[in-house]
Amino acid sequence: MATLRNLTRPGTIFCRVFRQIKRESNLDKTAVLACYPTIPCFSHDDICLTQQRCLFQLPKLPGTSTNKRKDYSERRLLGYSMEQMYEIVADVEKYTEFVPWCTQSTVFNSKPGSFKCKMEVGFPPLSEKYTSCVTVAKPNLVKSECTDGRLFNHLLTIWQFSPGVPDIPNTCVLDFSVSFEFRHALHSQLSAVFFDTVVKEMVNSFLKRAKQKFGAPSIRAQKPKVLIYNS
C-alpha cells in the first residue's frame, strides 16, 4: 500500500496538482494530504479503471473550487475540403493512431446519423474510460457528447465544416468547440494542468492526420480566431 505522499514526489503529475491545490486552498501539504485516505499502489496494468468505478473517491478539499467548467471555441480556414476533414474527424476508431492521450476508441450501436463510442483517455499515470454518443451529418458536422457521466459531468465536442475560399476547392472553414467539466475534485485539478495543452494540440493533430492522408494543404496554415477561451 502507498499513500498519496508517494505519488506527490517531485516530477510527478500529482506533485503539480497538489501545488495548485495548495495555492487555491491556502493549506500546507500536510493539511491537504490529511484530507485524503490511503489508496492502493497501482501497477501500470491495473491503473486503467473500468467505467463502473471512479479513479479515486475524493472528499472536497476545504477552500478549493471543483467541477469548474472549461470552454474553448475557435474558427479557422483550413487547406482541406469539408469532405476530407469530415472523413478524418468522423473516423473515430482511428483516433488512437493520432489523437493525443486517446488510448482506446471503439465504435458500437451504429445507426444512420449517429453511433456510440467507448473512449479511453490517458494522462499518465491516470487513465479513464467513458462513453460518447456521436452525431454526424456528412460533410458538415461531427458532434460528440459524453453520456455515462462517471468521469465527466459534462463533455461536448463539436466540429462544424462550411465552404472555404470560393476559387480554391480544397478549403473549408472549421468551427471547433470543446466544453468539459470533470466530476471529481482531483480530476478538476488535473483539467487545469492539461487544458491549455489539449486545446493547443487537438485541432493540429487532425491537421497532421489530413496531411498524412491527403498531402500538403492547399493554402498556408492559418492562425485560429479564438471565439471562447474559458480556462
pLDDT in tens, 194-224: 677 777 788 999 999 999 999 999 999 999 9
Q: How far is CA 29 from CA 5, 8, 16, 127, in A?
A: 9, 10, 12, 25
171-188 pLDDT tens trace: 999 999 999 888 876 666
Q: How far is CA 178 from CA 39, 56, 120, 154, 158, in A?
A: 32, 25, 17, 10, 6
- pTM, 2 dp: 0.70
CA 144 to chain centre: 11
Q: Which of 68, 122, 100 is nearest to 231 (CA)?
A: 68
Residue 17: what pLDDT? 47
| Cell numbers describing residue 228 | 471562447
Q: φ, ψ for residue 33 (rounded to 5)? A: -65, -30
Asked whether the predicted pLDDT for residue 52 surpasses 70, the reply is no
Asked whether the predicted pLDDT for residue 57 surpasses 90, the reply is no
Residue 148: what pLDDT? 83
